[in-house]
């Protein structure tokens, strides 16, 4: 199958490209240099010339706090850019997978969110990603929307790498204990997307590693497992829990980011493995130079 990946230099994009190539698909990997998704003509030209059978749209503006001060940029990339990809995909008859986020919900639910719950994003980032979802649904006929959460992988910056670095360098690390969700390893998410793209089971999916924890519990587990699995890792920091109010950020965070995998079950897909197992595999591949670089 011919597959085009946007955001190919990002955390998920790089793992997606590697997996697609490994299993024998023909891949066009596009980062911002190859295809600026905010340039409608460029999107049209590249997608029409390659004529992919599936597009995995990983490119996004993900600077959650910065988006509060620069909403135009967030909407330019996440809404207008997604529109450009969707229109070009439709013209060549391509399937389109759009990677979305738990931030489309307000986080106030007492139970996990299912795919068809009402959205109510509270941040500029969440609103701009929801705008992208709406444009996909309006402009595409062969679409998958895949919402995920708390993503980490071997490429780029993420919470796991930050904790490994701070845990070795700082005397104390504070992490919020009143926000809960599901950590998601990019390799596991990519495996699900590979399975999904081969089907015509279109619609909205929630895809994260199964189970949940708070950010504090996630950090606890990172330190515990790193002590066993990462060569040379030595924990110096004392881990301390705090509240969201004690750790103020420009953009509001959902208190509850747990997403039920209803569509995965009802469409007969294999669920993603437990989040702790994904973390263990990630840590087995970590080397000191990976966790200490800026």
Active site members: 125
C-alpha–C-alpha distance, residues 221 and 84, integer Å: 41
Residue 125 CA, chain-centre distance (Å), reads 13
3-class SS of residue 96: strand
Burial of 183 (0-12, 13-18, 19+ CB in 10 A): buried
C-alpha–C-alpha distance, residues 51 and 19, integer Å: 20
Residue 197 CA, chain-centre distance (Å), reads 17
C-alpha–C-alpha distance, residues 15 and 1, integer Å: 17
Q: Which residues pair with 56 in a beta bridge?
A: 5, 97
């Amino acid at each position: 199958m011919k597959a085009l990946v946007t955001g190919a230099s990002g955390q998920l994009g790089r793992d997606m490209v590697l997996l697609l190539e490994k299993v024998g698909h023909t891949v066009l990997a596009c980062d911002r240099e190859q295809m600026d998704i905010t340039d409608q003509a460029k999107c049209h030209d590249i997608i029409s010339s390659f004529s992919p059978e599936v597009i995995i749209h990983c490119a996004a503006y993900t600077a959650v706090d910065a988006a509060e001060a620069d909403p135009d940029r967030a909407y330019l990339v996440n809404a207008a850019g997604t529109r450009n990809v969707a229109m070009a995909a439709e013209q060549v008859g391509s399937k389109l997978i759009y990677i979305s986020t738990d931030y489309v919900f307000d986080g106030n639910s007492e139970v996990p969110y299912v795919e068809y719950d009402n959205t109510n994003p509270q941040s500029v980032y969440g609103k701009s990603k929801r705008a992208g979802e709406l444009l996909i649904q309006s402009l595409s006929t062969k679409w998958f929307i895949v919402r995920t959460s708390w993503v980490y992988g071997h490429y780029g910056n993420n919470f796991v790498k930050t904790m490994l670095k701070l845990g070795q360098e700082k005397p104390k690390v504070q992490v919020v204990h009143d926000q809960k969700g599901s950590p998601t390893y990019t390799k596991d998410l990519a495996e699900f997307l590979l399975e999904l793209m081969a089907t015509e089971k279109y619609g909205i999916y929630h895809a994260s590693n199964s189970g949940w924890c708070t950010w504090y519990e996630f950090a606890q587990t990172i330190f515990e497992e790193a002590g066993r699995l990462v060569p040379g890792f030595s924990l110096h920091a004392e881990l301390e829990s705090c509240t969201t109010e004690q750790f103020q950020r420009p953009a509001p965070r959902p208190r509850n980011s747990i997403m039920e995998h209803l569509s995965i079950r009802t469409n007969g897909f294999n669920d993603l493995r437990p989040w702790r197992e994904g973390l263990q595999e990630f840590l087995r591949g970590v080397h000191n130079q990976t966790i200490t670089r800026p």
